[in-house]
A and B are shown apart, each in its own frame.
Chain A
């Protein structure tokens, strides 16, 4: 393997000038990187100017500038494009702007505030671009595509039209460091590609599908992402793989118009389990809702997060132990960051010995995750009596009605609302 800091040609006049970070083992705290990563930056030479696409993490700026200097002089740089403003791509930007003060900077509209937060100068000049905007370099045309939320609001892609090279930013990237750079030369990086999608892009799968609609019609010869191998061999297969990954993971066996409600519970003495059963029974009385019941005690390794991604609503039952919901519940709730749960229906219930704080805590967490929590949860002291079990059935029924839209719209006064609040406290 050759790790010398040379600029690497992708196509005539277009070079990779990024940096290798082979010793990195953890990226952004959350991702494992078994053989490091790369910060990919590119240089595109036209007859009238040179464009730099993305930069690198500040710690790797020296390597980046060494490669850049092999591909271009600073006074030739007319254009800087940032497809994504995260510090691993914008870290060397301030120094690049200092070395090439004549260069015009091109970013997406949503990148403005991030740019101002990263580059602390008063006279910051930049140009906002969106889908359809182009910059001419002379024989090379940069064409911008707005692809927001892949995986930040600011993300965009840039195509060199004449060469069919798409600088895609983080999308189609992965953390995999191999100085051979190209997908037909490097080691087996399939795991890293899938892992990156699952941890970075998965919460934004609707945006992934929107972006694919935009990018699929393009004649692509190479996809050059901001991390990991450059995809010059069968680039379209990576679009296809993203399309598969962004589709629902589980075959939805519920009828086309039916809704899915998942009831999760964990129970020390069987009391919260009884309540869970009652919630499920209540929900099942509503036609058009498919109810599933799961014991979190058996959650180790089970793909509950995949189930929740496809569900319309979740109800979570937990006992209160030492003033808190129990760990398997928090484990489940903390696993949801990798999927989109906004606007799903949420609810909570549980048995308690002393005080029953778990229910409110779970509701607050569900709201924090932007679920709808329209029905106040049910708490029962120790063994639920028939009245409490009936309240659980009512909870299930109301949740199901919220899902089907069969709930009568209620109009209540603020004072009624306050008295309801107190009666549940």
Chain B
């Protein structure tokens, strides 16, 4: 199964995960300080910054795009509950 390496910059830890894992599943296990609300891509609570490796992330869905825009998020930000890692090396600010 393809793997992705997700580095949590502030925690100083890298997690090797199966492709397709959502960021929220990793960040809550690793204890990153990302807060969660609805976990369904609606509330925008779990907005997080991708430092590098956005090309290894799933595309934004229409819903995620709408919520990010409503929250004035930049192009480097994603919803942890929606974004999946697809492979390669990804670094997040958490």
- Of A33-41, A95-103, A363-371, the one with at least 4 CB within 8 A of chain B: A363-371
Question: Measured between alpha carbons, how far is A367 from B12 in the docked complex, in Å?
Answer: 16
Question: Measured between alpha carbons, how far is A411 from B91 in the docked complex, in Å?
Answer: 13
Question: Measured between alpha carbons, how far is A412 from B10 in the docked complex, in Å?
Answer: 16
B16 A409 Cβ-Cβ under 8 A: no
Q: Which of B1-48 contact A (CB under 8 A)?
A: 5, 10-18, 21, 26, 29-35
| A60 contacts the other chain (CB 8 A) | no
A363 B31 Cβ-Cβ under 8 A: yes
| Cross-chain contact of B17 among A366, A371, A372, A414 (Cβ < 8 A) | A414
Contact with B along A98-122 (1 / 0, CB 8 A): 0000000000001001000000000
Contacts of A418 in B (CB 8 A): 29
| A413 contacts the other chain (CB 8 A) | yes
Question: Measured between alpha carbons, how far is A402 from B11 in the docked complex, in Å?
Answer: 8
Question: Measured between alpha carbons, how far is A368 from B46 in the docked complex, in Å?
Answer: 11
Contacts of A367 in B (CB 8 A): 31-35
B30 A410 Cβ-Cβ under 8 A: no
| Cross-chain contact of B11 among A372, A411, A414 (Cβ < 8 A) | A372
A402 B12 Cβ-Cβ under 8 A: yes
A417 B29 Cβ-Cβ under 8 A: yes
Known A372-B33, A374-B31, A417-B29; judge A410-B12 contact (CB<8 A).
Answer: yes
Of the four ranges (under 10, 10 to 19, 20 to 34, 35 or more), the interface on chain A belongs to 20 to 34
Q: Name which of A110, A368, A372 has the most chain B CB atoms within 10 A of its CB.
A: A372
Of the four ranges (under 10, 10 to 19, 20 to 34, 35 or more), the interface on chain B belongs to 20 to 34
B12 A407 Cβ-Cβ under 8 A: yes
* Least CB distance, B37 to chain A, in whole angstroms: 12
Contacts of A417 in B (CB 8 A): 15, 26, 29-30
A411 B5 Cβ-Cβ under 8 A: yes
Contacts of B32 in A (CB 8 A): 367, 372
Question: Measured between alpha carbons, how far is A421 from B30 in the docked complex, in Å?
Answer: 9
Nearest residue in B to A343 (C-beta to C-beta)? B10
B16 A411 Cβ-Cβ under 8 A: yes
A410 B35 Cβ-Cβ under 8 A: no
Question: Measured between alpha carbons, how far is A273 from B15 in the docked complex, in Å?
Answer: 34
| A373 contacts the other chain (CB 8 A) | yes
Contacts of B70 in A (CB 8 A): 113
Contacts of A402 in B (CB 8 A): 12
Contacts of A363 in B (CB 8 A): 31
A412 B13 Cβ-Cβ under 8 A: yes
Contacts of B62 in A (CB 8 A): none
Nearest residue in A to B17 (C-beta to C-beta)? A414
Known A113-B72, A343-B10; judge A412-B31 contact (CB<8 A).
Answer: no
Q: Which of A278-331 contact B (CB under 8 A)?
A: none
Contacts of B14 in A (CB 8 A): 409-412
| A376 contacts the other chain (CB 8 A) | yes
Contact with B along A397-425 (1 / 0, CB 8 A): 00000100001011111100110010000
Nearest residue in A to B5 (C-beta to C-beta)? A411
Nearest residue in B to A409 (C-beta to C-beta)? B12
B29 A414 Cβ-Cβ under 8 A: yes
Contact with B along A63-87 (1 / 0, CB 8 A): 0000000000000000000000000
Contact with B along A134-165 (1 / 0, CB 8 A): 00000000000000000000000000000000
Report which A residues bind B (CB closer than 8 A): 110, 113, 343, 363, 366-368, 370-374, 376, 402, 407, 409-414, 417-418, 421
28 contacts across the A-B interface (CB closer than 8 A): A110-B72, A363-B31, A366-B33, A367-B33, A367-B35, A368-B33, A368-B35, A371-B33, A372-B10, A372-B33, A373-B33, A374-B31, A409-B14, A410-B13, A410-B14, A411-B13, A411-B15, A412-B14, A412-B16, A413-B15, A413-B17, A414-B15, A414-B16, A414-B21, A414-B26, A414-B29, A417-B29, A418-B29
A-B pairs, 8 with minimum CB distance:
A374-B11, A367-B33, A411-B14, A414-B17, A413-B16, A372-B10, A410-B13, A373-B31
Report which B residues bind A (CB closer than 8 A): 5, 10-18, 21, 26, 29-35, 70, 72
